[in-house]
Amino acid sequence: MNIQRWIARREPNWQQLEQLLKQVEKQGLKSLEAGEIASLASLYRSVSADLARARTNNVGSTLIQDLQSLTARGYNQIYQGDRQKDQRAVLNFYLWGLPTVIRETWGYIALAFGIFMFGGLVAWWFAWQDPMFMALIVPDGLIRMVRDEGKLWMGSILGNEPMASSNIMINNMSVSFNAIAGGISCGVFTAYILFFNGLLIGAIAVLVGQNSLGLPFWAFVFPHGSLELPAIFMAGGAGLLIARALLLPGQYKRLDALKIYGTQAAKLVYGIIPMLLIAGAIEGFISPNPAIPDIFKYVIGTLIFVLLVLYCQRHEIQD
């Protein structure tokens, strides 16, 4: 290859790309017309090929460095716009989209909450009447610790907060995703998970109440439970949406119903994940912390829940 001739032939393209990049870097991609944007993309691909050829033919380090700089700038300007669009889309979803989806699916979330509460009331009723029932739901070691030693089990988290927080997040994710996936069973498994977790909470509530440990127990639950429990109800609602598509597609074909309700369920999942991550961090570092007075834990939990309710009421301002 005649290097001088090749450089002379290709240099106008490099100069043209340089001019376009300078304009974009100063005024933004919107300053270009449609044809100039197409030229920018075409020139970027062309110069990228020139860089590969320059390296292969060892045309000189200075020229290779110039072409590397040109292609790097081109890449940033061409693909940065897509990244910014993606970032704005994610931000807009969490600012406006998720609250809208929660409001649209509140009936399913409320039904999930109702199943959970029904399990809790069943456990509360039978556990007060028959101690043997509590033994069927609550692990024996937990019962002995509360009843015989007069203390709660949260102390095991102290000194091991990072690992405990990670394990809590993983467990909560597992419960939530099982509730979502349970929609494939026409909602039977989703209902079972919600009902069983309600049974567990109800039985434990009776256990700590009977042993005068209700105040510190609920002080532990309030800070993280204000996010964790709504997230689980949202997961249950997502599972019930899938069940609705399978059982009651209505005016839609079943496959179309799965797409429609499945999309809503997927959007709920995107909301559940950050909620559970935050709740896991709170449960690992704040909820069991003895340095934080119980009254402050109640205040923290209440404040978080109020903010969550206000967030769910957000409406996008239309131009």
pLDDT in tens, 86-133: 677 788 889 999 999 999 999 999 999 999 999 999 999 999 888 889
- How is residue 35 written in tokens? 């044809």
3-state secondary structure of 2: coil
| Percent of the chain scoring above 70 in pLDDT | 95
In whole angstroms, give the CA distance from residue 240 to residue 8.
Answer: 67
- At residue 3 the predicted structure's pLDDT band, cuts being 50, 70 and 90, is confident
What's the chain's average pLDDT? 89
With contact defined as beta carbons under 8 Å apart, do 179 and 276 qualify? no
DSSP string, 37-100: HHHHHHHHHHHHHHHHHHHHHT--HHHHHHHHHHHHHHHHHHHHHHHHHHHHHHHHIIIIIHHH
Helix (H) or strand (E) holding 201: helix 188-210
Please list, residue by residue across 283-307, b when 16 or more beta carbons sit within 10 angstroms of its beta carbon and e when fewer do: bbbbbbbeeeeeeebbebbeebbee
| CA atoms of 72 and 58, how far apart (whole Å) | 19
Question: Residue-wise over 158-167: b if at least 16 C-beta within 10 A, else e?
Answer: eeebeebbee
- What's the rounded mean pLDDT across residues 239-253? 94
| Band of pLDDT at residue 319, cut at 50, 70 and 90 | very low
pLDDT in tens, 32-54: 787 888 888 888 888 888 888 88
- Please report which confidence band the pLDDT of residue 85 belongs to, taking 50, 70 and 90 as the band edges: low
Looking at residue 187, its pLDDT comes to 96
Rounded Cα distance, 23 and 33, in Å? 12
Q: Any idea where the domains of the chain sit in the sequence?
A: 3-85, 105-312
Whether this prediction's pTM lies above 0.85 is answered by: no
Confidence of residue 58 (pLDDT cuts 50, 70, 90): confident
Supply 16's token pair: 């043209």
Specify the pLDDT at position 318: 45
How many other C-beta atoms are found inside a 10 Å radius of the C-beta of residue 60?
12
Residue 280 to residue 224: CA distance in whole angstroms? 7
Percent of the chain with pLDDT over 90: 54
